[in-house]
Amino acid sequence: ASTHHVKEQLEAARVEYEAAERRGDLARMSELRYGKIPELEKAAQVSVEPQGHNGSFQLLRTKVTEDEIAEVVSAWTGIPVSRMLESEREKLLRLEEVLHRRVVGQDEAVSVVAHAIRRSRAGLAEERRPNGSFLFLGPTGVGKTELCKALAEFLFDTESALVRLDMSEFMEKHSVARMIGAPPGYVGYDEGGYLTEKIRRKPYSVLLLDEVEKAHQDVFNILLQVLEDGRLTDGQGRTVDFRNTVVVMTSNLGSDLFDVDGDFSPMQIRERVMDVVTKHFRPEFVNRIDETVVFHSLNADHIRSIAAIQVEQLRTRFQLQGYDLKIHDSALDLLSKAGFDPVYGARPLKRAIQQYLENPLAKNILAGEFPPQSTIAVDEAEGQFRFTCVAHQDTSKETKALENSKTE
């Protein structure tokens, strides 16, 4: 008999024993207690043990494994321990590989971040400081925020582990109170600080301080304590621990110095940008940052690779709606050309995908041109995007071609 069937019989025998006990039927109690129940328990044990030894799949287990423990602990604490079942050493050794799947053209930045994270996890960094602290410099649209999202997903299983603060909201002197909470007797004392409350509730996270150069100078005094001691005391006297947090600050300082024509080497660009950074930030602040990373401008090949990544994300969304999407290389080249701008990085590419792919696809789906469960192929014909729908249905094997003009 199967394990499930034996356990059902065993449970029924125990229920019957309790009923006999209430009736006072001693004969039936003796028969069940010393005869039927032990036999069923032995049968259940025999049916479970062979599956445990040969490692075959079983629907019902009698032992709690590390998977269940990790799931329960994660649900109680909010700490993402499910991925921690994988060897920590193996995870960290392939950190660059995972980050490169989402961040294109920034090999130096990915390498610097990976080395700093490994130093911290290996116990070689100072124990009381955050897991890592970085200052990301570079023009817009080159992957600074995307690297933060990829890092949050890798370390803590989800992009929601990214805590983002727009530092342009903290330009006034009194905005320090908003970060750590108002002192006793002031309005907002019970609400807690904007920064401290987020980290207190989610200590395992990537803290992104966007456009940090716009913050008031008093805000940097608060950040000094975070970067040096890994802790911060809020307005209510509670100590917030930042030691399990990765702190990332982004800045556009020196973005006008980046060379899109290739007249300067990466080392020369870095020196020019760092001159601007050292003039804007105080030395004690810059010295407490683990790594200052300079992101470089993207070229046409980088945009082509990013286009492939974003189109694959679009394909995933399409599959959730019951469709499939196939992009030919010719269409991908045309899309990359339309979305390439060395000044604005990869941001125009997203608008190009919306204009040339998402808009016509959405219109044709709503018009009923594309039947459900169909594959939509996109290729290029005479400088235009062509959409061809092939339905996977026996009653409809016709191919429809829709020409969509490429507008400015």
| Residues 319 and 288 both lie in one domain | no
**What was the pLDDT predicted at 402?**
40
| Residues 43 and 125 both lie in one domain | no
> Do residues 99 and 114 touch, judged by C-beta distance below 8 A?
yes
| Residues 17 and 132 both lie in one domain | no
For residue 241, give both structure tokens: 């621990």
pLDDT tens, residue by residue, 198-242 = 898 888 889 999 999 998 888 888 889 899 888 888 888 888 889
Query: What does 275-293 look like in DSSP terms, one character per residue?
Result: HHHHHHS-HHHHHT-SEEE
| Residues 250 and 308 both lie in one domain | no
* Residues paired with residue 205 on neighbouring β-strands, in sequence order: 245
In a domain, 234, yes or no: yes
In a domain, 121, yes or no: yes
In a domain, 71, yes or no: no
In a domain, 74, yes or no: no
In a domain, 67, yes or no: no
For 280, what's the count of Cα atoms within 13 Å in the CB-facing half-sphere? Answer: 15
Mean pLDDT of the region 158-162 = 85
Query: What does 221-279 look like in DSSP terms, one character per residue?
Result: HHHHHHHHHSEEE-TTSPEEE-TTEEEEEEE-TTGGG--SSS-S-HHHHHHHHHHHHHH
Domain that holds residue 125: 94-294
| Residues 231 and 136 both lie in one domain | yes
In a domain, 73, yes or no: no
Number of domains in the chain: 3
Alpha-helix runs per DSSP H in 32-87: 37-54, 66-77
| Residues 151 and 16 both lie in one domain | no
**What was the pLDDT predicted at 85?**
53
| Residues 130 and 35 both lie in one domain | no
Q: Which of 34-38, 246-250, 303-307, 369-373 has the lowest mean pLDDT?
A: 369-373
pLDDT tens, residue by residue, 170-185 = 888 888 888 888 777 6
Q: Which pTM value belongs to this model?
A: 0.69
Q: Which of 50-54, 138-142, 213-217, 310-314 has the lowest mean pLDDT?
A: 50-54
In a domain, 160, yes or no: yes
**Radius of gyration from C-alpha coordinates of the chain:** 30
**What was the pLDDT predicted at 134?**
92
| Residues 246 and 327 both lie in one domain | no
Reported confidence tier of residue 46, pLDDT bands at 50, 70, 90: low
Residue 91 has pLDDT above 50, yes or no: yes
- For residue 299, give the 3-state DSSP assignment: coil
| Residues 283 and 310 both lie in one domain | no
Dist CA 106 CA 102 (whole Å): 10
* Last-in-domain residue among 274, 294, 314: 294
| Residues 273 and 239 both lie in one domain | yes
In a domain, 80, yes or no: no
Mean pLDDT of the region 151-179 = 86
pLDDT tens, residue by residue, 396-407 = 334 344 444 444
| Residues 270 and 314 both lie in one domain | no
| Residues 103 and 219 both lie in one domain | yes
